[in-house]
Amino acid sequence: EDQVTQSPEALRLQEGESSSLNCSYTVSGLRGLFWYRQDPGKGPEFLFTLYSAGEEKEKERLKATLTKKESFLHITAPKPEDSATYLCAVQPYRGGYNKLIFGAGTRLAVHP
């Protein structure tokens, strides 16, 4: 069964304290792995798509990496505005369909 597990469930950082979020997955054929950011009461906002092991993508203070079993979202020198829930999702091969399977997310709080 396709499954996504994110850890930790919650993370509290001081401003400037770098850390990493983990996304472990099992899927019968990976088409892509996605990272989204979600603010309270809002819909997920797209951050990155990774398609193959070894791939890395960066955006401002965020960097996403992918292996065959997991992905990491590295946050360098975070600021309070980075506080949000970060969601990881996998897209399995299912012919022409692009359903996403999400993890439960990591709630990040960055304090000044």
Partner 1 sequence: DAGVTQSPTHLIKTRGQQVTLRCSPKSGHDTVSWYQQALGQGPQFIFQYYEEEERQRGNFPDRFSGHQFPNYSSELNVNALLLGDSALYLCASSFYDGTARGGYTFGSGTRLTVV
Binding region for partner 1 (CB under 8 A): 4, 31-32, 34, 36, 41-46, 49, 51, 87, 89, 91, 94-105
Residue 74 or 100: which CB sits closer to partner 1? 100
The answer for 47, left when phi > 0, alpha when psi is -120 to 50, beta otherwise, is: alpha
Residue at token pair 């304090």: 111
In angstroms, give the least distance from the CB of 22 to partner 1.
15
Rounded Cα distance, 30 and 51, in Å: 8
In angstroms, give the least distance from the CB of 16 to partner 1.
28
In angstroms, give the least distance from the CB of 77 to partner 1.
27
In angstroms, give the least distance from the CB of 99 to partner 1.
5
Rounded Cα distance, 54 and 56, in Å: 7
Residue 78 or 103: which CB sits closer to partner 1? 103
Rounded Cα distance, 109 and 85, in Å: 9
The answer for 54, left when phi > 0, alpha when psi is -120 to 50, beta otherwise, is: left
Residue 15 or 39: which CB sits closer to partner 1? 39
